[in-house]
Every structure is written in C-alpha cells, then in structure tokens.
C-alpha cells in the first residue's frame, strides 16, 4: 500500500546506541521519545536495545499502544494531563510531568482508587515559555505533596526550544539543577531525577558543558532522524537515512513552469513564487500535506526536485532524471522530522520497518 513510510530499524538502534555512548561519561541516562512515530512499538524496542532506559510520549494512546505491545519498560507521559485524564494517566504511565495542582489532586485520587503509587516530575520553566512553574511557584506546589498519599515527587523536568526556540546553556541548566536542593528541603527527601529535553541538549554533552546534576535527557529526534532541528544541524555520529517515504506516480505530463491567469493565494493561504524554466516534465504523486511536510522531503534519486504540494498531491520535477518516469512507478524520499511526524500520524500512510 502506498504512500508508505519505511523505517530502517538497525539505523535507529544505532543512533540510540550513539546517544547512550555520548551520555555515559557524564552519568546521564536517557528516555527514548516515541511521539514522532506515534508510539510505534518496534521503534520503541530499537530505542531500548540501543540503550534507552525507558520510553516517553506526549499521548496516552501511544503509551497504551506501547504497553499493550508487551513493552514493560518505564513509560513517561510528557504532556501534562488534565483532571479528566487522571484515570488513564495512572493506568498507562508509570510517571508523568505535571505542573497543575488541580490535575495532581485528581491523579492522587485516581491512583488511590486503583491502588497505584504514581510518580510525578514537576515541570520547571526555563525560558521557552511553554509548560512549567517559575521558581517561586515551584516551591509552593511542592508543599502540596505533603497532602497527597498516592503521588510521589521523584524529580524535576524542564524543556527547551519547543515553542520559543530558547536554547539550553550551562547557566540555564545550572539554575535548573540548583532548584533540586530547595525542592528536596520542602518534601523531606532527595529529588532523584533531573530531566531535560530535548535533542538540542546533546550539544552541551558534546562540548563537555553539561552541568553536573542532570541525570536524564529525553531524546527523540536524534534517534529517529539523526538531526537537531533547533540547533540546525545533523547530530555528529548519527545516521540520517533512517526513514524513507514512498509514493506512487499518478500523472506524468510536460507543462510550462509558469502558471497562467490571475494569481491569488494557494489552498493553504500562501503566495507561492515561480521561476520561468520553460516546459518541464512534472510527475504528480499520490501524497500530500495531509501525509507529510513536503519541504522536508529529499528525493533519494538524483535528478528529481520537489516543486510543491497540495492537500493530497506532491509535484516533482523529473526533467533531469535521466530516464522516463511512468504512471504507477514508486518514488522514494528521505524524510525529515516533521515529514515523519505527519506521516506517522496520517491514517493514509502505511508504516513499515526493515532491517
């Protein structure tokens, strides 16, 4: 079935192994983040085989998928729950990252009802302004744990470069680490896990600039793609040929390279520009923006050029291919992080793994 996204499981395991080697000298462990692959169990297993000490995902349905596939490793829920999700959270996640007292009250209630002890890492704000408590609120919320019998505060978690593009620095990570002592004084026991995300944090390890005290990283992109979008780089030592997106040609025609008629915006509100290259051979593929991010597709074969995409079609210039392109043929593309994310969450794309 096409379109299809095909993962090289050995490449992904190798990338996880490289992350493990990078973390080891600093005594840092890592969780493999599976949200980009919608909690695919085979990719989760590859992360664990490569050295991940658990898996993390933002969606409860993905954690449920992992657990039902037989993975018995620790599972972390990345996205803060709502009180309405409390029962599912304690059912499928061993631990979760939280910041709302209302939600944690509900978690305590549901964990008690089910006979569980649920572990919580409090989210700390480090400047990216997504989730997280400021230091003064952190200590206030910490005190509430004294009244909860079925929740245990096991750590603090912080995040970088996911909303505002704020990059981690030794100073910002150091400030995060310093909060652990103050929190431990409030709860009366040590806070064992200081967890930072995401892939962008790896460059501090590479440079030997990661402050002592961070015990865990949450890594997804470097393992699945071998890239660091926030740092605008390929992660040294990793492979980028981890995923291919394959799609079927449904039309091949020679057409002018310039459209004609009055121009407005396209179906997505953009105003595309065009260059006059004369008549070109254009292949239309059964793959669209519903299924992938076209700007992150790199043709595996030379002589092909992605021109653009609508909801359901991808347009590729095949003039310089060197051989004839025919309807029904399958073309393949290396896929970047956002292309993989969209493909894995599209119900129209088949997901496969190969050795």
Q: What is the 3-state secondary structure (H, E, C) of 232-291?
A: CEECCCCCCCCEEEEEEEEEEEEEECCCCCCCCCCCCCCCCCCCCCCEEEEEEECCCCCC
CA distance 47 to 54: 9
Q: Within 13 Å, how many C-alpha atoms sit on residue 220's CB side?
A: 23
pLDDT at 187 over 90: no
Percent of the chain with pLDDT over 70: 100
pLDDT score at 269: 87
pLDDT score at 185: 86
Domain ranges for the chain: 8-234, 243-354
pLDDT score at 90: 98
DSSP code at position 193: E
pLDDT score at 174: 96
CB neighbourhood size of 228 (10 A): 22
Q: Kindly report whether the peptide bond that precedes residue 3 is cis, defined as omega within 30 degrees of 0.
A: yes
Residue at token pair 């400047």: 127
283-307 pLDDT tens trace: 999 999 999 999 999 999 999 999 9
Q: What is the DSSP string of 91-104?
A: HH-SEEEE--HHHH
CA distance 70 to 60: 16
Name 118's bridge partners. 151
Q: What is the CATH number of domain 243-354?
A: 2.40.37.10
Q: Under CATH, to which class is 8-234 assigned? A: alpha beta
pLDDT score at 267: 85
pLDDT at 266 over 90: no
pLDDT score at 135: 87
CA distance 222 to 202: 9
**Across residues 170-191, what is the average pLDDT?**
91
pLDDT at 190 over 90: no
Strand 243-256 relative to strand 279-285, pairing = antiparallel
pLDDT band at 16 (very low <50, low <70, confident <90, very high): very high
Q: For residue 234, with 0-12 CB atoms within 10 Å meaning exposed, 13-18 middle and 19 or more buried, which class applies?
A: middle
pLDDT band at 202 (very low <50, low <70, confident <90, very high): very high
pLDDT at 347 over 90: yes
CA distance 253 to 284: 9
pLDDT band at 325 (very low <50, low <70, confident <90, very high): very high
pLDDT score at 333: 98
pLDDT score at 136: 86
Across all residues in the chain, what is the average pLDDT?
A: 96
Write down the pTM of the prediction: 0.95
Beta-strand (E) ranges in the chain? Answer: 4-8, 29-33, 55-57, 75-77, 95-98, 118-124, 151-159, 193-197, 216-219, 227-228, 233-234, 243-256, 279-285, 297-299, 305-309, 314-317, 330-335, 350-354
pLDDT score at 188: 83
CA 198 → CA 81, 87, 161, 264, distances in Å? 20, 27, 8, 39
pLDDT at 170 over 90: yes
Contact 63, 77 (CB under 8 A): yes
pLDDT band at 272 (very low <50, low <70, confident <90, very high): confident
pLDDT at 226 over 90: yes
pLDDT at 186 over 90: no
**Across residues 340-344, what is the average pLDDT?**
97
Q: Kindly report whether the peptide bond that precedes residue 198 is cis, defined as omega within 30 degrees of 0.
A: yes
311-323 pLDDT tens trace: 999 999 999 999 9
């Amino acid at each position: 079935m096409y379109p299809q996204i095909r993962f090289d499981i050995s490449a992904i395991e190798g990338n996880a192994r490289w992350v493990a080697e990078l973390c080891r000298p600093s005594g840092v462990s890592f969780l493999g983040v599976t949200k980009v692959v919608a909690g695919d169990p085979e990719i989760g297993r590859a992360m664990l085989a490569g050295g991940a000490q658990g898996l993390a995902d933002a969606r409860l349905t993905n954690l449920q998928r992992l657990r039902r596939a037989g993975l018995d490793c620790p599972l972390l829920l990345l996205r803060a729950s709502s009180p309405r999700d409390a029962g599912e959270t304690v059912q499928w996640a061993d631990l979760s990252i939280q910041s709302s007292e209302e939600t944690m009250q509900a978690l305590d209630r549901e964990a008690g009802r089910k006979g569980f002890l649920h572990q919580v890492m409090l989210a700390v704000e480090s400047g990216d302004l997504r989730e997280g408590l400021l230091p003064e609120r952190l200590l206030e919320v910490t005190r509430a744990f004294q009244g909860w019998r079925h929740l245990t505060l096991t750590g603090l978690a912080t995040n970088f470069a996911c909303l505002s593009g704020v990059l981690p620095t030794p100073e910002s990570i150091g400030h995060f680490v310093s909060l652990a002592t103050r929190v431990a004084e409030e709860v009366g026991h040590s806070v064992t896990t200081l967890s930072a995300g995401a892939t962008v944090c790896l460059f501090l390890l590479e440079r030997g600039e990661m402050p002592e005290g961070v015990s865990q990283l949450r890594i997804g992109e470097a393992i699945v793609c071998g890239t660091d979008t926030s740092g605008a780089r390929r992660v040294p030592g990793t492979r980028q040929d981890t995923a291919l997106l394959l799609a079927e040609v449904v039309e091949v025609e020679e057409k002018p390279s310039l459209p004609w008629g009055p121009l407005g915006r396209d179906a997505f509100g953009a105003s595309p520009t065009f260059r006059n290259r004369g008549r070109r051979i254009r292949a239309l593929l059964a793959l669209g923006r519903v299924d992938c991010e076209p700007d992150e597709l790199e043709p595996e074969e030379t002589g092909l050029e992605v021109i653009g995409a609508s909801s359901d079609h991808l347009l590729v210039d095949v003039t310089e291919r060197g051989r004839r392109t025919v309807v029904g043929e399958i073309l393949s593309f290396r896929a970047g992080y956002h292309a993989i994310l969209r493909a894995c969450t599209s119900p129209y794309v088949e997901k496969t793994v190969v050795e």
